Chains A and B, each alone.
Chain A
Amino acid sequence: MTTVADPRVEGVARRLWRHPSSGGRQSPLAGWLFLSPALLLFLLFILGPFIAAMALSFYSYDLLTPAKFIGLDNFKALRTDELLLKSLGNTFIFAFASVVTHLVGGLLLALAVNRGVHKALSYFVRTAIFFPFLISWAAVALLWKYVLDPTFGIFSYYLGVIGITAPDWFTDPAWALPSIIGIDFWHTIGYTFLIMLAGLQTVPAEMTEAAVVDGASRVQTFFFVTLPLMTPTMFFASVITFIGAFQIFDPVQIITQGGPNDSTMTAVMYLYQTGFQAFQIGYASTIALVVFAVIMLVTLIQFWGSRKWVHNA
């Protein structure tokens, strides 16, 4: 097929981007233009709010009356805030459980689907596993409230059939956080599964075949060939899963609102309640900075630790 270039478009393109071979200097304008949508969004929704949060953390501000500068008072208050400590503890438990279950679950599912199953079945399973990820958190939360209803829930019913009394999933402090962890796993495992599947498909077949020819068993091939080659993917999955998990909010807000007895109070939930129920915007901003610092620190540790276990080809 022959295409005829529009001379007007060509002219504009030439002005924006002069090729080095033409002897002209590259114009930075084109680069900035391409960059501008992302840059604008970054400034508006990430950098701007971040700087605002830093500023607000030095103020006492209730949304309704003018802000008052209070210096480091908000930061000092962090030291004695027991609920913040509890919420950070809950969030770490949630994030740790999330990373472990997603990495293990995602890898196992990917291994199962990646094996020589029928193509149609493979597509169906991939879609089925990924599908919950496409559902909004609001719908997922409602769905599971029905499933785990202590009186009418289908899950509680079948546990009863086999002689197990179902716990009060969302009102018992011992079960509320595990329930949220389970629901989160069901909802988001599809994403980790896809990453793992993509990673598995980049493992060169020649290497596994060579291992088999050398007499390695399936288990040995997995642990000494596949798994090391999967470590970059696993590292990526662990980083993004932790970052996402540490900001968990939606299911907690919809299902338990941080209760019972603050057993599902996560850091972002606490931040929200502090800001938009207690109207302590300044202190909520300080908590936001703590959350940011924790995520950054853990991510740095993950990167540092990766040198010891991530295989670099």
Chain B
Amino acid sequence: MAALTRSPLSRRTLLRGLGAAALAPTLGLPLAACGSDDSESGGGSGGGTVTFVYYGDAESQKAYDQLFTKFRSEHPEITLKAQGIAAKSWADFANAVATRLAGGQQLDVVQIATEGQRIFMTKDLLEPLDDYIKKDQAAVDAYYKDTPESIRTFLQQYASKDGQTFFMPGGYNTMALYLNTKIFTDAGVEPPTDTWTWEEFRAAGQAIKTKTGAFLTAAGTGYFTDVMPWMLNNGAAPISEDWTKSTINTPEAVEALTFARSLVVDGLAPKPGGTFDAPTQMAKGKLATFGGGRWPTNDLRRLKFVDPVELVKWPQQAKPGSPVGWDAWPILKQSKNKDSAWIFITYLISETFGDAITAGGGGAVPARISDATGPEFLKDAPKNTELLVDLLDVATPIPGPDRGAETQKVIEEAWTQGITGTKDPQTALAEADSKLQALLS
């Protein structure tokens, strides 16, 4: 990268040949280069400004900012700027961060979810953390000891190269079913077991529809929230385990989409494509189940409908499964205050921050096991919320290849076509297969 920076070719060619307005492409140069020039691995006492960017809208900004009160009082020498970016999905969030970086914004620490971790690493935008970790080995060891081993393994597998560490793991989400126990009781349907099957699920839905008129479940088209759970519980996945091949057109995947479609056809799920708000409909007694990680708990709290709800496993066909996505914190190479950025990360992995974000009601399962299984996390939450942690045992990471946003679009598009009946599931997934393969190769 440094060699590219010193090369006069791209900058001068642009300036001479195409005029001053052609400066835009050169914005990538300082971005890609500053890591080498300003790199200060380990050591140092910090100071200056640290800009931290996280996924969140303006509303969450205030709550998020309160989490850093202690950090600010402990480190008055560091000016922390925490900025939320509102986005529709984690892939969109990663795109928004990339656009800011290209626009020349000085960012130091970024909250990046699984969908964006690999591309940030492969684009050489991240500073290896190994030297910093050595410096604070005891704190990092204590953190690792209290976080799920599987998440660290996934990070090494999907977002690491040459044995280097680029991310400290943060919170995560798996997918369970939020179940309205009252509707099940009213319909005289037994609560599901841990191994309930798709057919048992459908049978429950038919009884519920007949006796209460409520929908069994919501038929969404989300990559993480719908496509992955249905496929994984049938032993399928849209993309291979190493994120290099499309596997969206296997018989198991087709079967999963066919089953999801049948729920809409049978009137057990509302037609997708509208504005169906699952937590609200559940609170109104019109919906028996919907899928989610930790985040719907906040909606149910807002609707004061936590008590009648219980978390259960997704119904399975071939084997149990759940997607998992996690956020993680790297230091950007462009950071001019890497020491201070690391000091901030040590705060993010501290018990203090873990406790604060758990009490603050974040939308993910806290990274620390002690927080995720502690009373604060389980308080005012649906019964069996611990399931979100237990599901890690059968979880598969949400694939986040380099062209993540595009792959997500192809997958969701195919699922939409299949579930709405615009195309039959086999055709929809076969068409998506070739598009996906092109994006992954």
Contact = CB atoms under 8 A, between A and B. Distances in A.
B422 A171 contact: yes
Interface in B388-441: 403, 405-406, 409, 413, 416-417, 420, 422-423
Tier of interface size on chain A: 35 or more
B207 interface: no
Contacts of A51: 18-19, 21-22
A55 B416 contact: no
Nearest to B92: A277
Contacts of A2: none
Q: Which 5 A-B pairs have the closest CB atoms?
A: A67-B25, A149-B274, A55-B22, A51-B21, A171-B273
Interface size class of B (residues with CB under 8 A): 35 or more
B420 A168 contact: yes
5 contacts: A51-B18, A62-B123, A171-B420, A260-B416, A277-B405
A221 interface: no
Contact of A145 (B29, B275, B422): B275
A68 interface: yes
A13 interface: no
Contacts of B123: 62, 64-65
A259 B416 CA distance: 9
A133 B102 CA distance: 34
Interface stretch (A102-110, A116-124, A150-158, A231-239): A150-158
B32 interface: yes
Interface stretch (B93-101, B151-159, B288-296): B93-101
Contacts of A50: 21
Interface in A29-83: 47-52, 54-56, 58-59, 61-69
B26 interface: yes
A292 interface: no
Contacts, number: 131
Q: Which of B403, B420, B423 has the most CB of A within 10 A?
A: B420
Interface of B: 4, 10, 13-14, 18-19, 21-26, 28-29, 31-32, 91, 95, 98-99, 101-102, 119, 123-125, 270-276, 403, 405-406, 409, 413, 416-417, 420, 422-423
Is the contact region of chain B dominated by helix, strand, or loop, or is it mixed?
Answer: helix
Contact of A153 (B21, B95, B99, B274): B274
Nearest to A172: B422
A149 to B, nearest CB: 3
A260 B417 contact: yes
Q: Which of A52, A142, A273 has the most CB of B within 10 A?
A: A52
Contacts of B416: 171, 259-260
Contact of B28 (A47, A49, A65, A257): A65
Interface of A: 47-52, 54-56, 58-59, 61-69, 142, 145-146, 148-153, 168-173, 257, 259-261, 273, 276-279, 281-282
Given A49-B21, A55-B18, 8 more contacts: A54-B18, A64-B32, A64-B119, A69-B10, A150-B270, A151-B270, A168-B273, A171-B272
B275 A55 contact: no
A152 B409 contact: no
A199 B91 CA distance: 48
A152 B276 CA distance: 8
Contacts of B28: 61-67
A142 B275 contact: yes
B196 to A, nearest CB: 25
B406 A259 contact: no
B409 A68 contact: no
Nearest to B271: A150
A173 B274 contact: no
A64 B10 contact: no
Contacts of B26: 66-67
Contacts of B10: 66-69
B102 A64 contact: yes
